[in-house]
Structure 1
Amino acid sequence: MKKTDKTFFQIIYLIALGLTYSCQTAHKETTTTHLPNIILLMGDDHGWDEVGYNGHPYLQTPVLDDMAATGLRMDRFYSASPVCSPTRGSVITGRHPNRYGTFTPGSSIRPEEISIAQVMKKAGYATAHFGKWHLGPVKATSPTNPAAMGFDEYLSHDNFFEMNPYLSRNGEPEEIYEGESSEILVREAIRFIQKAQENNQPFFVVIWYGSPHEPYSGLPEDLALYDDLPESFGDKIVRLTSNETGQQIDRPQRDVLQERFAEITAMDRSIGQMRDYLKAEALRQNTILWYFGDNGTPPEGNATVPFRGEKGQVYEGGVRVPSVLEWPARISRPMDSGVNAVTSDVFPTLCAITGQPLPDRPMDGIDLTPLFDGKMEERSEPIKFWNGRVRQEDGYIPLPYIDPELQKGTSPLVKLMNGIATRNFTNFHHPDIQEKDFGGARAILDNQYKLVIHGGIGENAKSELFDIKKDSAEINNLIHELPEMALLLDEKLKIWQQSVLESLMGYDY
């Protein structure tokens, strides 16, 4: 072969190779860039009625109201637990928190749990967490910090925070960030999104606000919005934390509500800042922006809750929370949904959207994507609630699941506990399954009825049955009118509890 012919064929080969590489690169970009960006937002102690779109007489939440008017409004959305840490665990895992011992505020998650951030990272997302973590310490040595759970970056706090929060960046010692905390989180999240965009990555961002958890504070302009609350509104004395001393004090509820409402309005405004950024960068069309609360309204904030109960209780007032979702590329018209949904559904829903398989272990959430297309009228599985606890009996000493040294918190906060301005975490092994383990406040909610059980088991349990569609306030107990329905729901609940206790013993790992 002549040298010129050889050179000619080498050139043709290099061109073909380049085209092949170019096509492969283009295919790779297509498989990642078509994925929607995802931002999960969660308020801390934000109850169902504390938004304008649900009819609150005084609160100003124009951004959430607009999201409800233009996106998907979920009127029957529930937190997996009536308190914060367990609900946060349900978002991260898609599983009920009792399965891995996250029973109460201050209970950590377990390192073996599979996190939604880990799944999203595998799908090609840049992942980040901002704000309240509360599933273990955020320090670098913690085996359950956000990085250990799959987040590439985090700026987070062990627990709740107020104005000028202390936050840890990627496990480093906490530093003070000056300003209104909700706006700080969104500002930092936007910086992360900008970096993800530069790297041509879809982003998965979790923003867990410190608001409106007590103790309360607000910017002067936000407080001024609520200067004229009626004197008769919230006219009782309530107990909460003092920002000055960290101790419990009694205050007029009207004054407390002014500060609480100011925090909610600031949080709402920060969501608007994120929406404005997404619009300016042409990202809003294919970004899922999903807001919900972590549990019902706490006692000091309970002035207009239309349901029975409050934070800590499995009645509607403790577990029903606001939820709105925007995704213009798929939800192109306003939608109101009365389908029961719960925070545990976030994991399987995002897996369905991104084409990722569910973990091979018991899951408690379901895929909500048919809801986005108007094809879901009822829920396929009941929602179960259960206020779990470490076994209580004389002489029993539970074995720590994680080295207690690794569970020590470092993030300063205002509220003192036993004189300490930080919080430590716990998680314990569960040795076996005994009949007494099935006790505690619990409930099961199907598409029409809700069975609520308090106390122990058998004769020691107090059961109530409500037609939740007709009686959201849970006033009319139908336990004697519909004993067969109560028995059916009770049996389903016990079967599920058995599965949960087996998970708690570590069978899933």
Structure 2
Amino acid sequence: MRSIYQFAVLTIFTLLASCAGNSAPQEEVAEQSPPNFILLMGDDHGWDETGYNGHPHVQTPVLDEMSKLGLRMDNFRSGHPSCSPTRGSFITGRHPNRYGTFSPGFSIRPEEISVAQLLGQAGYTSAHFGKWHLGPVKSASPTNPGAMGFQEWLSHDNFFEIDPMLSRNGGAPQQFQGESSELMVEEAIRFIEKANKADQAFFVVIWYGSPHEPYSGLEEDLALYDNLPEAYTNDTVRLTSNTTGEQVKRPLREVLRERYAEITAMDRSIGVLRDFLKEKGLKDNTLLWYCGDNGTPRSAARTGMTLRGEKGDMYEGGIRVPSVMEWPARIKSGSISRVNSVTSDILPTLCEVTGQPVPERPLDGVSLLPMIDGTMEERPSPLFFWSFATNKVFGEDPQPYIEPQLQEGTLPLVKKMNGKFTRDFKNFQYPEVSATDTGGARTIIDNRYKLVLDEQPEPELFDMIEDRAETTNLADAHPEIVEKMQQQLYDWQQSVLKSLAGNDYH
């Protein structure tokens, strides 16, 4: 039997669906269950690296098909130009600086309210599979997937490769044999089958370990890229050795062959998941959403690039990522949106779909349900991005927010760092707001213009409609726009600093 919460969700969903121009008639919708949600995210998968965005080499037939049959979001961005902060925005609907997830290796805070917790209140059963990177996944961690509302998880503290070490529900590390993207989908299918048998709506998050370096691929996928241009051999890049875990230099052509093989394997696993949903009669009423977590890294940002910058940058190459969504019961086939959107929008979107109230604290995302229904022409508020200047703000002896032993990771990965193959996390106390703690690279994007500020003396202003490659600085031509956007950005930063000081938890 469905819970009373799911009955309430069904009632609200029925009312919402009856108003949508492309939805089923009300008498048909009334017989449907609440929608299921599957959210997928690639690791370091930039906007350029899909077939549908015109990459000259990468083969992504499944994502390409989803872009044609579902909703293609051409101006979707990650919440930050690196992974841990973006994952925090995905989970909370809030900018990661509000809770101290400043960069990779910083954890989330236990007091944050997650989308999994909110959907749990609506009767959903939920699971996380893959990269977590918001704190250790061990059972003792106050920021593991279970603490953030996921009832089951098979996850890693950080990224992983073929034959990964993973933890099931916080248990001791176990090695799993197989291609990592395939393994994640196999686990997700088992969970979905169990939920479906129990007549429960499900919320599944798959955060792939691909295509993060170091790269590796199956022979069948590597063979697809045997004929990359020989010219790439003349260039070398630095990345992790799969053998030693240390940094090495390798020819770009070899590196790209392996990276693209990982992307294709990830794409194929999404196809396996889509086929399963169709076979089980779940596809129509399941929202399936894929995106990347930040732009393409330096080790691969050499081919197909049409955007300025790379992972870590506030330019579009650092924050614009692929995003496609399918939900046949609700989304019109062949939909394309150029409205600005971001990973922080995930929580408010799913809350509106299920009728759950959003948390009573500052959010940075907005609901994209009007985009799903084809009625959203502009974003109602700007997007903000900010790489926090941690060294300048916290000094040499910052006070930990969480007990350090609880922040120690247990799962080994290939890449060695600070002399070890596991990862520890940190989060700092920020006791008092200072109006001067607003340094670091930061950006505001409205429906036309983008302002980029850093330690450089002059701001940069770009027209994102006419110049999405960010080639022409218009700051001198439009000082009034610069002044207005600077003030908006500063005001937003003050709100973020108040959150960081813990004001939202009182």
For the criterion TM > 0.5, the same-fold answer is yes
> 2:443 maps to what in 1?
443
Aligned partner of 1:388 in structure 2 is 388
Look up the equivalent residue of 2:493 and give its one-letter code. Answer: Q
Per-residue deviation, 1:310: 0.3
Per-residue deviation, 1:157: 0.1
CA RMSD in angstroms, aligned pairs only = 1.9
1:271 aligns with 2:270: yes
State the 1:30 CA deviation. 5.6
Q: After the TM superposition, which residues 326-345 of structure 1 pair with which residues of structure 2 at under 5 Å, given as runs? A: 326-345=326-345
- Equivalenced residue count is 485
* Alignment-derived partner of residue 17 in structure 2: none
- 2:288 is aligned with 1:289: yes
Q: Which stretch shifts more, 347-356 or 368-377? A: 368-377
* Structure 2 residue aligned with 1:166: 165
Provide the C-alpha distance between the structure 2 equivalents of 1:421 and 1:395, rounded to a whole number of angstroms. Answer: 27
Question: Match for 1:481 among 477, 483, 504?
Answer: 477
The one-letter code matched in structure 1 to 2:318 is G
Alignment partners' CA distance in 2, 1:65 and 1:117: 28
| Structure 2 residue aligned with 1:426 | 426
Aligned to 1:81: 80
Contact 2:444 2:451 in 1 (8 A): yes
Distance 1:367 1:395, change over 3 A: closer
Aligned residues of 1:234 and 1:257 also touching (Cα < 8 A): no
Alignment-derived partner of residue 491 in structure 2 = 495
Partner of residue 7, structure 1: none
Q: CA deviation at 1:189?
A: 0.4
- 1:189-208 superposed Cα distances (whole Å, 9 cap, x missing partner): 00000110111100000000
Equivalent position of 2:49 in the other structure:
50
Does structure 1 conserve the Cα–Cα contact (< 8 Å) formed by 2:5 and 2:122? Answer: no
Provide the residue aligned with 2:319 in structure 1.
319
| Greater C-alpha radius of gyration | 1
Amino acid at match of 2:480: E
Distance 1:389 1:25, change over 3 A: closer
Q: Say if 1:503 and 1:27 are closer, same or farther in 2 by CA, change over 3 A.
A: closer
How far, CA to CA, are the matches of 2:277 and 2:310 in structure 1? 35
Residue in 1 that maps onto 2:461? 465
**Cα distance in 2 for residues equivalent to 1:91 and 1:149:** 12
Q: List per-residue Cα deviations over 1:291-337 (Å, max 9, x = no partner).
A: 00000000001022211110001110000000000000001321011
Residue in 1 that maps onto 2:98: 99
1:250 aligned partner: 249
What corresponds to 1:261 in structure 2?
Answer: 260
**Contact 1:40/1:207 (<8 A) preserved:** yes
CA distance in 2: counterparts of 1:211 and 1:160, whole angstroms: 8
In 2, the alpha carbon distance for the partners of 1:292 and 1:383 equals: 17
C-alpha distance in structure 1 between counterparts of 2:233 and 2:469, whole Å: 20
Please, what TM-score do these two structures have when normalized by structure 2? 0.93
CA contact (8 A) 1:45 1:298 kept: yes
Gaps of 5+ in 2: 14-31
Q: Which position in structure 1 is the counterpart of 2:224?
A: 225
Matched, 1:306 2:306: yes
Residues 1:76 and 1:235: Cα distance change in structure 2 (over 3 Å): farther
Mapping 1:133-148, distance limit 5 Å: 133-148=132-147
Q: Confirm or deny: 8 A CA contact 2:6 2:123 kept in the other structure.
A: no
Q: In the alignment, residue 248 of structure 1 is paired with which amino acid?
A: Q
The aligned residue for residue 507 of structure 1 is: 503
1:367-382 matches, within 5 Å, as 367-382=367-382
Q: Percent identity?
A: 62
Q: In the TM superposition, what is the alpha-carbon distance from 1:27 to its structure 2 partner?
A: 5.9
What does 1:96-245 align with in structure 2 at a 5 Å threshold? 96-233=95-232, 235-245=234-244
Unmatched 5+ stretches in structure 1: 1-20
Tell which deviates more after alignment, 430-439 or 88-97: 430-439
